[in-house]
Structure 1
Amino acid sequence: MPLTLLFITQDDPFYVRIFFEEFLSAYPHKEEIKGVAMGEALGKKNTLALANQMYNFYGAAGFFRVGAKYALNKILRHIPASMAGNGGYSIGQLFKRYKIPVTHEADMRSSSFLDAVEKLNVDVIVSVAAPVIFREPLIRLAKKGCINIHNGKLPKYRGMLPNFWQMYYNEKTAGITVHEINPKIDDGRIILQRDVDILPSDTLDSLIKRTKRIGARVMIEALDAIRSDCVQYKENNAVEGSYFSFPTREDIREFKSRGKRLL
């Protein structure tokens, strides 16, 4: 049974691209992907605000390491998709290699965007680090619903940067959760959930990369279950968990004092 998809994601040059590289290399129904709507990385933050947040998070040395990679990616993404090599340098280049339409969206709540999504008439809208909170006008456009992948155990680790908090609290495993989307954050019924070992050698960077790759396979498994109409839903009771915000400087100091590393 066909299952048409629209992905909503952000133009992240680091981790989100890893998810899509793995997903597109393994997904056998790429012809059913009707498009990718892409917003700016980390939503509406301007360059200065984003740089300040990253500096506070990584510290001086880490900031310059990450900044150098970001600058290089900005240059390489202007290379034509046909010349970008295996995987490409950006999410847009990656999808273009597979001839999947990509649009860059400034406002995913606008009537023009909603009209475009309605015309696609897709079965499922898939959020992968989407830079927008889904509201009812968007949710109801997917015939079989909207789903999200969250790199944390739900409902325990709702919110931002769950891999950081799972390491912070010395969890032995990190969670990967595919769940339905409703207007609340990380709140819909759980479609599929898997655990990934947190290794003694893991940095936050290495754990995020590994969970992105494994998460792509979990998403494929979840889509197969939706396609076959055999999803075994689990409740996602928000009162059983906590909502986590982006880590503060004090959180990061404590993270490091517990022997954890960011990079």
Structure 2
Amino acid sequence: MDVIVVTQDDPFYMPLFFRHFFNEVSEKIKLRNVVCLKPFDESFSALIGRMYGLYGPVNVVRRGVSYVTRKASDALGLGSNSVVTAAQRRGVSVEMLDTVNDSSFIERIEERHIDVILSVSAPEIFAPSLLNAPTWGCLNVHTAKLPKYRGMLPTFWALYHGDEEIGVTIHTMEEEVDHGQIAKQSTFPVSPSDTLDDVIKQGKREGGRLAAQALNTLAEGEIQLRPMEGEESYFSFPSAEERRELQRQGRCLL
């Protein structure tokens, strides 16, 4: 079964996903390549402003120092802190693109008879023509027990609302974001001492394992899809005030 993964690169979370994904995916899955898109379609200054609002002044500095350290370590070959490095160690090629919605990319998917596109934190909404390009379809990884916590940064919102467990869902993709049918779903517990960073990391580990399991099952012809049922909710990126409220509840970010 031929698969292409669409994602974004970062030195914190996505390498964790891919290390667990590569360890679990079966030999029947032919990973043709990983496509990395730019994180958030916004300027560098806008991205810094967004991160400042999420982490606050002290934590954004800590995050910045860690970012530089991890990027340098990866560049010097002293660590595996990027999707590129994780993929190369597996022998999977990585392609950097501005968009996956242009006609040339979609034509390549069709010409190469790609069976599945796996979306992992992809910062671009897939166009209908892209959703219909793979022979089987597209799967998305979402760190929530869908249909609850659709939207952005679902782990933040689960902690914000006091949830004691975090969901991970692998689902088929439709034109409406975070809709579709469930291919795999699981949960993991959250302790009071877990930081937002801890929970996001655990979500990536679980997401990598679960995505591999979904593809393995699909390759065996045993995938069983089911509808999303239960409480529905949608949240956008948290504001600075919402971040402060999470901290007032006693939850650390890093």
Where do 1:82-97 residues align within 5 Å?
83-85=77-79, 88-97=80-89
Shift of 1:36: 0.8
Report SS of the residue matched to 2:32: strand
Q: 1:251 to 1:194 in 2, by over 3 A?
A: same
Q: Spell out the pairing of 1:40-55 with structure 2 (5 A cutoff).
A: 40-41=38-39, 43-55=40-52
- The answer to whether structure 1 residue 18 and structure 2 residue 16 are counterparts is yes
Give the match's secondary structure for 1:171.
coil
User: SS where residue 104 of structure 1 aligns?
Assistant: strand
How far residue 141 of structure 1 moved from its aligned partner, in angstroms, is: 1.4
**Aligned Cα root-mean-square deviation (Å):** 1.7
Q: Distance in 2 between matches of 1:71 and 1:113?
A: 32
**Whole-Å Cα distance in 1 between the matches of residues 30 and 78 of structure 2?**
24
The gaps in structure 1 that reach 5 residues or longer are: none
Matched, 1:59 2:50: no
Q: Does 2:231 correspond to 1:231?
A: no
Secondary structure, aligned partner of 1:246: coil
Q: Which residue does the alignment assign to 2:248?
A: 257
SS in 2 for 1:133: coil
Alpha-carbon contact 2:11-2:70 (below 8 Å) kept: yes
- 1:162-181 to structure 2, matched below 5 A, reads 162-181=154-173
Q: 1:214 & 1:93 partners in 2: Cα distance?
A: 20
> 3-state DSSP class of the match of 2:139?
strand
SS in 1 for 2:226: coil
Partner of 1:116: 108
Alpha-carbon offset, residue 133 of structure 1: 0.7
Confirm or deny: 8 A CA contact 1:12 1:40 kept in the other structure: no
Partner of 2:34: 36
Question: How big is the shift at 1:209?
Answer: 0.5
Structure 1 CA distance for aligned equivalents of residues 28 and 196 of structure 2: 31
Alignment of 1:234-245 (within 5 A): 234-236=226-228, 240-245=231-236
- Does the alignment pair 1:185 with 2:177? yes
Q: TM-score, normalised by structure 1?
A: 0.91
> Is there any run of 5+ residues in structure 2 with no aligned partner, and where?
none
Alignment-derived partner of residue 238 in structure 2: 247
Q: TM-score, normalised by structure 2?
A: 0.94
Q: Is residue 4 of structure 1 aligned with residue 10 of structure 2?
A: no
Displacement after TM superposition at 1:192 (Å):
1.1
Between 172-181 and 207-216, the greater mean CA deviation after superposition: 207-216
Residue 222 of structure 1 corresponds to 214
Confirm or deny that 1:104 pairs with 2:72: no
| Letter in structure 2 aligned against 1:150 | H
Shift of 1:101: 1.4
Contact 2:13 2:200 in 1 (8 A): yes
Name the count of aligned residue pairs.
254
Q: Which moved more, 1:116-125 or 1:144-153?
A: 116-125
**Quick check: 20-29 or 148-157, which moved more?**
20-29
Deviations 1:3-25 (A, max 9, x none): 21100001222111110011112
The more displaced of 220-229 and 55-64 is: 220-229
Counterpart AA for 1:38? C
Query: Share of identical aligned residues, percent?
Result: 36
1:69 counterpart = 2:66: yes
Which residue does 1:142 correspond to in 2?
134
Instruction: Give the letter aligned to residue 250 of structure 1.
Output: E
Tell me which of the two structures has the higher relative contact order, counting C-alpha pairs closer than 8 angstroms and 6 or more residues apart.
Answer: 2
